[in-house]
Amino acid sequence: MAAKFEFYNTLSRKVEEFVPREGNKVSMYTCGPTVYHYAHIGNIRTYIMQDVLIKSLMYAGYDVKRVMNITDVGHLSSDADTGEDKVLAGAKREHKTVMEVAKFYTDAFFKDFDAVGNKRPDVVEPATNCIPEFIHMIEVLLEKGFAYVAGGNVYFDTSKLDDYYVFSSAVEKEQLAVGVRDDVEEDTNKKNKTDFVLWFTKSKFEDQALKWDSPWGVGYPGWHIECSCISMKHLGEYIDIHCGGVDNIFPHHTNEIAQSESFLGHKWCNYWFHSNHLNDKSGKMSKSKGAVLTVSVLKEKGYDPLVYRLFCLNSHYRKPLEFSFDALDNVAAAYNKLVKRVAELKEDGPVDEAVKKEFEERFLEAVSGDLNTSMAVTILYDALKADTNDATKLYLVNSFDKVLSLDLAGHAAALSDGPEVDPELLAFIEDAIERRKEAKKAKDFAKADAIRDELMQKGVEIKDTREGVKWNLI
């Protein structure tokens, strides 16, 4: 039996006990990337927190099936239905075809997604694979009277719903109703301000490269329809958890619920998991801002991608997180110390079952209590300090890593796999590195250089990295 698990459900606006529809089986849908640019480290924060949710559920005994889409068509430059298709704009910018751009940025996305220790979804489906499914859903919505054709486009009629703003409190509903879309150019075809496009045949941007035949003319799908259809294609009429970043709540997830539940005639998803944004000093990170900071760029700057994962784990997923290199440097030093500490552990006997049980229970309580990841990391530190043998500590490091995915044991093994070094030389190197650090602190750079030369003479090369000084024998 799976353990008790709680997290914040945006639908009920409270931390709730999670009860899947079928025993310990969890069906989960997550909105994937729009592949017109590199995914920045903010996007990757969202995917790290979803990965922690999945792995925490697995730790608690659940069996999770996860589906993710790739938005390669239909996401316009504004989340309201105006502007140019983002992937098409990317293709123009880079003088490539739309499909070349989508493939390039999908590959780049997964490179960074994997590098931070995320488990791949069970199903990944690009929107352009599912045009017949989109057309079918739109046909049914028209038949049921939830949609209308105007000016060549098909729109969802939000006035047909009793409660369109499902995620909002009464006060927020009023504010949204007044404020919605006032900031964007009005589409005069819409009957209600909140109506949204299901299928476009008319757009200001006539050179839309990807178009398909449909009962309403040659055109392309709106953005929201893809997630409803792709989810149903692989997970059926019900899902347990739907994930995304907080910016997805409105309008994207609001519209997904409107069309899915109108199509199905029943409630679609019970739990909505939203993680908050990563900001830099100038505000929210955004792909459309141009130059983006990616996990690959962090790697080029000398940071291990798992240091970025630890940076994210140190904060709660529901709080905004501010990124700075100073903060990342501190986490890099902490990560390095953790790896060294794990490298010192020896397989020195049987695992102490009582200690193992106590710590695994504490860890489960942290992650199943609305994903308290910083507490989970603290418990890892506590386990390393615990009054027990090394074998038990090693066991716990590996057990916690099923969720944290910091690869501490792997990195520790890589450390100790280095060449056998004479203990006397090793002591000398460690002492020299320490002396050089002191010299640099005292701004005595001549002395620091002299120590580097001293090491060179003994055949030791040193390198300053974000995770501290590294050395190798030459």
Q: Which of residues 35-54 bind ligand AMP (CB under 6 A)?
A: 42-43, 45-46
When computed from its CA atoms, the radius of gyration of the chain, rounded to whole angstroms, is: 26
CB-based contact 336:468 (threshold 8 Å): yes
Cβ contact 5:60 at 8 Å:
yes
Hey, what are 196's tokens? 């949204």
Site string for ligand AMP, 237-276 (x = CB under 6 A): -------xx-xx----------------------------
Closest separation between CB of residue 65 and ligand AMP, Å?
19
Task: Give the nearer residue to ligand AMP in terms of CB position, either 46 or 262.
Answer: 46
Taking the complex as a whole, how short is the minimal distance between the CB of residue 280 and ligand AMP, in angstroms?
A: 9
> How many residues line the site for Zn ion (CB under 5 A)?
2
| Alpha carbon separation from 214 to 136, 137, 219, 228, 259 (Å, rounded) | 10, 12, 7, 19, 19
By CB under 5 A, residue 227 contacts Zn ion: yes
Burial of 457 by CB count in 10 Å (0-12 exposed, 13-18 middle, 19+ buried)? exposed
Separation of alpha carbons 424 and 470, rounded Å: 18
Residues 68-107, one symbol each (x = binds ligand AMP by CB under 6 A, - = not), give ---x------------------------------------
Among 18, 27, 29, 33, binds ligand AMP (CB under 6 A): 33
Assess 455 for contact with ligand AMP (CB under 6 A): no
Sign of CA dihedral 149, 154, 158, 160: positive
> Is residue 128 part of the contact set for ligand AMP (CB under 6 A)?
no
Among 2, 26, 31, 403, binds ligand AMP (CB under 6 A): 31
Q: Are 32 and 71 in contact (CB under 8 A)?
A: yes
Residues in the chain: 474
Q: Which is nearer to ligand AMP, 33 or 126 (CB)?
A: 33
Cα distance between residue 227 and residue 50, in whole Å: 17
**Residue numbers 414-453 binding Zn ion by CB under 5 A:** none
For ligand AMP, the closer CB: 125 or 467: 125
Measured from the Cβ of residue 191, the count of other Cβ atoms closer than 10 Å reads: 12
Q: Is 355 in the site for ligand AMP (CB under 6 A)?
A: no
- To 10 degrees, the CA torsion angle through 12, 13, 14, 17? 40
43 binds, among ligand AMP, Zn ion, none (CB under 5 to 8 A by kind): ligand AMP
Burial of 436 (0-12, 13-18, 19+ CB in 10 A): buried
Q: Which does 227 bind (CB under 5 to 8 A by kind): Zn ion, ligand AMP, none?
A: Zn ion
Span interacting with ligand AMP, options 60-68, 138-146, 282-290, 356-364, rule CB under 6 A: 282-290
DSSP-assigned beta bridge partners for residue 64: 26
For residue 68, state whether it binds Zn ion (rule: CB under 5 A): no
Q: Rank residues 55 and 242 by Cβ distance to Zn ion and give the closer one.
A: 242
Q: Are strands 147-150 and 153-156 parallel, antiparallel or unpaired?
A: antiparallel
Q: Does 31 bind Zn ion (CB under 5 A)?
A: yes
Q: Name the helix (H) or strand (E) containing 288.
A: none
Closest separation between CB of residue 407 and ligand AMP, Å? 23
Q: Cα–Cα distance between 121 and 53 in angstroms, integer? A: 13
Contact status: 377 vs Zn ion (CB under 5 A): no
Site for Zn ion, residues 90 to 119, rule: CB under 5 A: none
| Residue 261 contacts which entry, Zn ion, ligand AMP, none (Cβ below 5-8 A, type-dependent) | none
Query: 71 has which bridge partners?
Result: 34
Compare residues 38 and 148 and give the one whose CB is closer to ligand AMP. Answer: 38
Q: Which stretch binds ligand AMP (CB under 6 A): 28-36, 187-195, 330-338, 394-402?
A: 28-36
Closest-CA residue to 192 (of 220, 137, 240, 155):
155
Torsional class of 147: left (φ above 0), alpha (ψ -120 to 50), beta (otherwise): beta
Count Cβ atoms below 10 Å from residue 474 Cβ, excluding itself. Answer: 8
- Which residue lies nearer to ligand AMP by CB, 290 or 423? 290
Minimum Å gap between C-beta 107 and ligand AMP is 15
- The token duo for 371 is 């994903």
Q: State how far the Cα of 396 lies from the Cα of 394, in Å rounded to an integer.
A: 5
Q: Which among 9-17, 147-155, 277-285, 412-420 is the span making contact with ligand AMP, rule CB under 6 A?
A: 277-285
Per-residue binder mask for Zn ion (CB under 5 A), 174-213, x = binder: ----------------------------------------
Enumerate binding residues for ligand AMP (CB under 6 A). Answer: 31, 33-34, 42-43, 45-46, 71, 244-245, 247-248, 277-278, 284-285, 287
Enumerate binding residues for Zn ion (CB under 5 A). Answer: 31, 227
